[in-house]
Structures are given as structure tokens and as C-alpha cells.
Amino acid sequence: MNRSIICTAARHPFRWHTGPSALLLGLLLTACGGGGNGTDNGGVATSSDGPTVAAVPVIHATGNIVSGKEVFRNELFGTEGFWTDALQLQQGIVAAGVTPLAALALGLQVDIGALDPATQAAIAAELTTDLSPASAPLLNSASTTVTLVNANAVIGIVPKDSNGDGVIDILNGDKTGASCALCHTITDNSVYAMPGGGSIGKRLDGRANHVLDFGSLIALGLNTRAYYPVLQLELAANGGNSLGRAPTGITPASTEAEVDAYLDNDAFYPRGMFDDTVDGNGDPMHNAALFRTDLAAPWGTDGSIVRLDNFSNLVYTALLDPTTLTQPNGRAFVKKLGGAAAGDEMIDGYIQILADTGVTGYPFITAGVSSVPGTEEAPVGLRVDNQKLLDMNGYLNSLAAPDGVVADAAAAARGRVSFRSNCTSCHNVDQSKPVPANIVAMASIFPGDNPVVLLAQRDPPLNPILNTVNNIFDDKMAVVNASQRGEIRGTALPLLLDLARRPNFLHDNSVATLDGLLDPARGNTAPHPFYLANSTERTDMIEFLRGLDTTP
């Protein structure tokens, strides 16, 4: 047995990245990390309940939980202007005739509680049929989708009374935007669960949406070119090179069809993933959970943001309205992190796209101008309502983690013994304890990392921009990493919760199963190469990991 750590889950992080090219600034998403082993200096196996190095947990300020629920579910801070007037997502949904069944196929979730009793009953009745257009006309009607959106029943696609008439109708001038719930809420499947797709039922906030086809959802927009900074780009300042899963990147000259083809391609933008960076890199990472956020810190794969409210602010002020990057503070941030030439090329290209596609009146977000742009608190110089950010902190802290799933208690008990001997130099056995806040060095978590220098000189404390060729695991750490706060380049440790529901592992989805994650066949230079050679021991460990919850 290779005695070493196990790390599989990913917290949801939204991080801010940056760098050249397909590497400019952004936010990070899920993480997986670890390091060390379960042996003493003599190579003899040891057992413990967690890391011996004392780590002070990050305690963030919190506000009103009730208000925080509303912020998490429905707050847009004006970004509905980007989603409606720039991206034109709701117009694209209507034009494409997206039916409720098609929406579920995209992995969208429907809150049955948002619908009136008559509509609930009609939908439930159709779900007892063969779902053909003849038997289920409501579920096969695009007009029903409009009804669901107007009722705020499509979780995360939030309508606003933009025309002020007191009636929500997206066909009559009202706008929609995306809330945090889009990627971080599912339902309890109590009404219907589409195989491989979304579900209809009661909301379960904080759970990662593992089936959301975010790329294909965005591709429905009539102007997906407006999403330019969040795509995999190809910049002349970087020699035409780009980081991402696609062989080539998007340019200002790319057509709407070419942008849609990138977003629609599961090989480039896999299901259950979300590119949470506005850095020009094509680096979607797996959606992660936002429950029990009091246990998790720092935020993002790279651990570059310490406070949860700062992480949330960056999501609103850059990711949900990337037109903020066209403003002086946004441009300065991109140039500082990615290099002057690449930064200017990216932003100049974006401004040209917005002009070519008739987008005006940006940025759309309603946020205050910060006196300290470029900081973790306001990386692009903007900060939304701070009390609402703190309220959401409180709500996300309060969300209970799901119960673990244990089918074989004896196997789980054996797995716990193995975990204590192999994994606790980095991970706690008791998942009710805060995750250690240290960063695990890339050399430990990814021995095969052999990066080339893409940009040698950046202002301290930023390290050079590095990338390991032909590998996507390190793309999230190439430009943005914890060097932004004087830490090492590496990964943050994740919560090990809700693993039974997770369909694949590591933040880049590069491992399909827990058994595969722990199998030494992956090789000793692979990301997270900490294995159990004996298949029975792996089975026991998997049973233990699937059963983890916050019960001490």
C-alpha cells in the first residue's frame, strides 16, 4: 500500500485568476488537494485523527440568515442587464423553443414550490405518462418554460420586474439573470428526476449541481460573444497560444456559431463544470458545494481568496457581469495579472465585440466603487452591498451537509482505520472540524507538474505565470494562485462531504470514480497520486468516504 493522503471532494470556490493569454484574470472553482503521508520518520505507519500542525480556521463575519437565503437564491445586483441585454440568454431560450423537458436535459432544476397548485397538479399528472408531446403537452411546450421562468421556478434563472408594472413577464420587457443557486442548488427529486439531467422537487440549497450543462445553456444566448472573457481565448500577445481543452481559442473575429460550438462541446466544456474565471483560459472546473461554509477556507482551487464574502463579491462583480473588465480598474487588474500586452489585447478585443454586437450601457452591475481596487475585497474596484454579502455568509454557514451514505458499516469501519493511517497528515477524520487552511504545494499534489514559464516577471508577491503543457489539472494555478497573498503555488484542501453523489473527482473531472482515484494504475506522477494497491482496501476506503458527514 502506498501510505498517503486521499482527497476527492471539492468545495465550490469562485476564485480570481489572472494571467496572460488564455490566462488573464478570474475566479476559481472546486479544489482537491493534499500532501504528506501517514508514516513516521522511520517509515512505520502511524494513525491519527488529523494534521498535527495547528491551523487557525478562517472565521468570516456573518449577517442575517433569512436575508442571506434571499441573497443566495435571488440577488442579482443588476447583473440581469448583462444576461438579458448583452448575452441575451432569455431571448435565445424563447427563440430556440426550449421546453421544460429540454431544460431538464440541460441539467436545470425546477422548484415545484414556486408554482401554483393547479400547475403543480398538471405537471405531476403528465409525469405519469410516456412524456410524448401527445401525452405530456405542458412538458413539451416552450410556453410552459416561459411560465416556469416567470414564476421563478427554474432555479438560478431569476426574473426581475424590470419594467416596473408589478407583473413578471419576460416576454414583456422583464429581465432575467443568474444567481448563485444556478450551480449550487438541486432539488430532492420528489416530483421527477430525469436520468442524467435535472429534477423537479423541493429546493436543496448549497448542493452542487453535478449535471448542469452550463456551456450549452450559455450557448443558447443570442450573443454568446458577449461572454468573451470567460471563454478560452487565443491572443497574439501570447503567440496565439491558449490554455484549455480545445485545440484553438476564440478571437474577436470568431463567429457566434464558433463560440457556440466551443460551449456546446462536452469535450471542451463538460457537464457539471463551470469556468469561474474571467482570465481568457478555458478552464471549467467541477461545481462544488456551498453548504457548511464555516468549515471551508481559503476559497478556490488555488486558495487565493481568504474570506467567503470576498469570494462572493468577485463572482458578482466580474463573473456575472464581465463587462466590468472594460473599466479602468478592471483593465488595470487584468494587465497586472496577465501582462500589459495580453491584458490590453484582451480588453480591447472585448470592447470591439461589444460594439460590433450592439451592447451599450455597460457595466450593468449595481455596485459601489472601492477606494482600494486590486485588493481581495474589490479586485476590479467594485464592491456590492456588504451587508448582503455577510448575510449570505450566514446562510451558507447554516446549511447542513447531507448525510453520508453507508451500505456496509463493517467495510466503512475498516476504511476509517485505513484513512487514519494514510490520509490524516492533511485531512481530518472528523468532518465537523474546519478544513486545514494551508495550501498544499504543487510538488506534493501533482508530482508530474513540470511547468514552463509563460510570464517571468510579475509584481510581488505574484509568482511567474507557469503552465504544465498538455495538462489541465494545473490550469487553475497557472495564473492565479495563493502567491497573490504571499502563499505558495498549490491547491487548497477541500471538504470531504457529499461524495456519494459526486460523479467524478478532482477539480478538473480527470478521474471518473473513487476507485480510479485510489488506484495506483494512474501512476506516481498523476495529480493526487495517493493510492491503495489492494482492491479490497480501496473498496473499504470508498465506503468510508461515501459515508462521511458532519457527525463527529
Who's near 102: CB < 8 A, 6+ residues apart?
Answer: 145
From residue 341, give the alpha-carbon distance in Å to each of 49, 247, 446: 50, 23, 31
DSSP state of 402: P
Q: What is the pTM of this model?
A: 0.91
Answer whether residue 402 shows pLDDT above 70: yes
Q: Average pLDDT, whole number, for the chain? A: 90
Contact 191, 123 (CB under 8 A): yes
What tens digit of pLDDT does each residue of 412-451 get? 999 999 999 999 988 999 999 999 999 999 999 999 999 9
Task: Work out the percent of the chain whose per-residue pLDDT is above 70.
Answer: 91
Cα(326)–Cα(317) distance, integer angstroms: 12
Cα(110)–Cα(115) distance, integer angstroms: 10
Phi and psi angles of residue 381, each rounded to the nearest 5 degrees, phi first: 85, 10
Q: Which three cell numbers stand for residue 415?
A: 476504511
pLDDT at 53: 61
Answer whether residue 394 shows pLDDT above 50: yes
- Band of pLDDT at residue 40, cut at 50, 70 and 90: very low
DSSP state of 275: -
Cα(529)–Cα(531) distance, integer angstroms: 6
What tens digit of pLDDT does each residue of 275-306 get? 988 888 898 999 989 999 999 989 888 898 99
Who's near 118: CB < 8 A, 6+ residues apart?
Answer: none
Q: Among 241, 222, 286, which Cα is nearest to 32's?
A: 286
Q: Among 266, 261, 259, which Cα is nearest to 233's?
A: 259
pLDDT at 57: 76
Answer whether residue 35 shows pLDDT above 60: no
Q: Among 215, 269, 227, which Cα is nearest to 83's?
A: 227
Who's near 153: CB < 8 A, 6+ residues apart?
Answer: 110, 111, 112, 114, 115
Q: Pick the most confident of 1-15, 34-48, 104-118.
A: 104-118
What tens digit of pLDDT does each residue of 138-194 get? 999 999 999 999 999 999 999 999 999 999 999 999 999 999 999 999 999 999 999
- Number of structural domains found in the chain: 1
Residue 157 domain-assigned (yes or no)? yes
Task: Work out the percent of the chain whose per-residue pLDDT is above 90.
Answer: 80
Strand partners, 110: 154, 200
Residue 38 domain-assigned (yes or no)? no
Cα(207)–Cα(184) distance, integer angstroms: 5
Q: Which three cell numbers stand for residue 546?
A: 461515501
Q: Tell me the pairing of strands 192-193 and 273-274.
A: unpaired
DSSP class per residue in 145-198: HHHHHHTT-BTTEEEE-TTSSS---TTTT-EEEE-THHHHEEE--SSEE-TTS-
Strand, coil or helix: what is 346? Answer: helix
Answer whether residue 7 shows pLDDT above 70: no
Residue 142's domain comprises 88-205
Strand partners, 205: 185
- Band of pLDDT at residue 338, cut at 50, 70 and 90: confident
Cα(436)–Cα(33) distance, integer angstroms: 11
Helix (H) or strand (E) holding 441: strand 439-441
Candidate from 242-256, 388-402, 464-478 with smallest mean pLDDT: 464-478
Q: Which amino acid is at 161?
A: D
Residue 386 domain-assigned (yes or no)? no
Residue 189 domain-assigned (yes or no)? yes
Residue 97 domain-assigned (yes or no)? yes
- Band of pLDDT at residue 54, cut at 50, 70 and 90: low
What tens digit of pLDDT does each residue of 59-101 get? 889 999 999 999 999 999 999 999 999 999 999 999 999 999 9
Q: Which three cell numbers stand for residue 230?
A: 470567460
Residue 68 domain-assigned (yes or no)? no
- Band of pLDDT at residue 345, cut at 50, 70 and 90: very high
Helix (H) or strand (E) holding 369: strand 368-369
Longest CA pairwise span in the chain (Å): 74
What's the whole-number mean pLDDT along residues 372-395? 96
Residue 116 domain-assigned (yes or no)? yes
Q: What are the percentages of helix, strand and coil residues in the chain, rounded to 5?
A: 35, 10, 55
Buried b (16+ CB within 10 A) or exposed e, 381-390: bbbbbeebbb
- Band of pLDDT at residue 312, cut at 50, 70 and 90: very high
Residue 147 domain-assigned (yes or no)? yes
Q: Among 225, 145, 217, 234, which Cα is nearest to 183's?
A: 217
Beta-strand (E) ranges in 42-162?
110-111, 157-160
